[in-house]
Structure 1
């Protein structure tokens, strides 16, 4: 549908509570987190003096559920938000989408807005390598809208709308003037001269789906010969709860073009690598954005922190990326390796969308959460 504004819908099992949300995820802009805005529809006769509450909880699972024995648990759950969203007694600042939905849905519709704390970790799932695992490892968010007398009451499933909401990191930098580079060299025992490798990138911020163009320059002033070279994009993962570090290669390219590089020779070339989740599915330990079974999941974004803060203080699962180039000089001489870090993120959605007031004639396209994976949607005027 051309110029359609997409809204996501889900209804409680008893059909009494329906949520319409303007986006599927919480977007982290480093300096702030965009709220999830929407509308909840609930019948006054069904409420009978009760309230509608919105609860956001984050589950941090750092071990397999099937390994939990004798009361040992490998997960932590933390409630981040629990607030009343309907019915409202005062004026609420609404977005254009909320105004149009309330006008269409009638008097039983109420605007809602849910915001996460700034220090909340981003959603990351670790691929277990198989489809048998019941619960994904990583950081998972749940947004629940439920009817109760008090927010402390245990909600009934029949009158609750449960949605899994990822918190994704986006970069406010559409372009970066910084061009990272590194220079490494290696000397050889009982052999004069050194082998030099310079590695550089045109920028330090890349968006998911973009190819990584790495330029490498080799200056061989040693007596050894470079037989071949290998370029890789490496994903580095730190699980803060267990202080575990590991790395996975998510894209690689081995080349003999320009080789062998004999003593006294130079070589300059550019290699292109495209790290994507589709070629890394069902690989143990690969970090993904959101749910592992989501067909639209990307590789996990780089963990970004506000200026003046240390990324080592981040919670949850910390993810970073680097380009690694290896020059192979044979079994005896060994390898020369250069690592150059970069950031892999989502573009800032606020910089790509025009204000909705300029497109008031656009239709609203309602997409049911239960039909998303079947590719079905419900178009409404």
Structure 2
């Protein structure tokens, strides 16, 4: 059983050009980036001798298009690459295509032309800031899109009816190997106390997946003469808009105010569970979210992994996370805050590759119960739905 491919298709208003792509998410693996490939279908009668171009662009938007002030547009093009696909250039080798392009070219016919782009290493990932419920227009975001248009030359402004735009995303997944479990600690000494206060905070691992609970281990050894109270835990998202203003926003996406008290001369060892979820922060303006496609939901923005050789200033929006444990050390003479921060990564896991195994029961001498057991106990299967089909020949197929 061959897996079915999803094709994304969008046509211009006058049907002169259309874009066909097999995916809209492209992964930055740090050492390489998935290339952007697809096919443009054109109508020679509608084009009327004009050329057809395809453009890949990355735009940083920090205001509405109709809110220009003194001619200043609230958007900046981080990257733009335009290529002519029709008439095909002489140096374009049409014999080298991806498998998807080969299938589309066979299906769409002679008026279909392939396009191919490679991302440069220094582009940011798709990310957006959550608008307020009353905000209108497009929000602050780093956006990617593929555009096909008809024009006399690539610098000519194309008519909207003869152009088509398809939004895509550049994403990063959690690394295969994470670092050691992060931890941090602090020791506070007070002038009115002979002995110190020691606080240590640790996490189980460096990388957590979206929707996964975070276990926070708190260890407080209070040898001082002060009492520790008002113990609060929070998961903070730190968003740094580095492209135009270097603004930094710190917002709590999960918080727990405990009633735990650590009197003088005692200790506390406890594990707390935190849930940093977008569903609990829908009304909070300015939270960084993963870039989303139209009519789709999203989640809190993934942590930004910055390559060593890339300048941070051109990455648009950088996102990081940390767990912060705060407490108040109060005594006879005044009080002071004690705090410990532990950074971590919040990301998506790499999608599990879907594989298909096929057994022909007609040619197999094993009983069907043994074949079924072999399929259901395959160590590489995942929680994907079980797919069983019955073609004209007795064949079992299972997706894992």
Corresponding position of 2:51? 51
| More divergent stretch after superposition (78-87 vs 116-125) | 78-87
Gaps of 5+ in 2: 359-400
Q: Please tell me whether Structure 1 or Structure 2 has the larger radius of gyration of its CA atoms.
A: 2
Matches of 2:298 and 2:343, distance apart in 1 = 23
Tell me the SS of whatever aligns to 1:278. helix
Greater relative CO (CA pairs within 8 A, separation 6+):
1
Superposed, 1:296-335 pairs within 5 Å as 296-306=297-307, 308-309=308-309, 312-313=312-313, 315-330=315-330, 332-335=334-337
User: 2:202 aligned with 1:187, yes or no?
Assistant: no
Matched-pair contact (CA < 8 Å) for 2:325–2:341: yes
- Structure 2 counterpart of 1:160, from 152, 155, 163: 163
CA-CA distance at 1:147 after TM superposition: 2.0
Alignment of 1:1-381 (within 5 A): 3-63=3-63, 68-86=68-86, 88=88, 90-171=93-174, 173-240=175-242, 241-256=244-259, 259-291=260-292, 295-306=296-307, 308-309=308-309, 312-313=312-313, 315-330=315-330, 332-349=334-351, 352-354=352-354
- Residue deviations 1:206-260 (CA, integer Å, cap 9, x gap): 222222222221111112222242211111111121121120111112223xx22
The offset of 1:25, in angstroms, is 2.9
1:299 CA drift (Å)? 1.4
Q: Deviations over 1:299-326 (max 9, x none)?
A: 12222122x3377455211111111111
Mapped to 2, the partners of 1:135 and 1:127 lie a distance apart of 10
Kept in 2: contact 1:126–1:292 (CA 8 A): no
Whether contact under 8 Å (1:80, 1:117) holds in the other structure is no
Tell me how far apart the structure 1 counterparts of residues 316 and 73 of structure 2 sit (CA, whole Å). 16
Alpha-carbon contact 2:16-2:47 (below 8 Å) kept: no
- Cα offset for 1:156? 1.8
Does the C-alpha gap of structure 1 residues 42 and 293 become closer, same or farther in structure 2, counting only changes over 3 Å? closer
SS in 2 for 1:103: helix
Q: Aligned equivalents of 2:36 and 2:116: distance in 1?
A: 6
- Supply the distance in 1 between the matched residues of 2:96 and 2:219 (Cα, whole angstroms): 56
Structure 1 residue runs without a partner (length 5+): 360-381
Equivalents in 2 of 1:355, 1:48: separation in Å? Answer: 46
How many residue pairs are counted as aligned between the two chains? 352
2: CA distance between counterparts of 1:32 and 1:20?
24
Cα distance change of structure 1 residues 244 and 7 upon mapping to structure 2, 3 Å threshold: same
Report if aligned partners of 2:201, 2:219 keep a CA contact under 8 Å in 1: yes
Cα displacement (A) at 1:182: 0.8
Residue 70 to residue 38, structure 1, CA distance change in 2 (3 Å): closer
- Determine the C-alpha separation between the residues in 2 that align with 1:20 and 1:293: 17
Does the aligned pair in 1 maintain the 2:62–2:141 contact within 8 Å? Answer: yes
Is the partner of 2:104 in helix, strand or coil?
helix
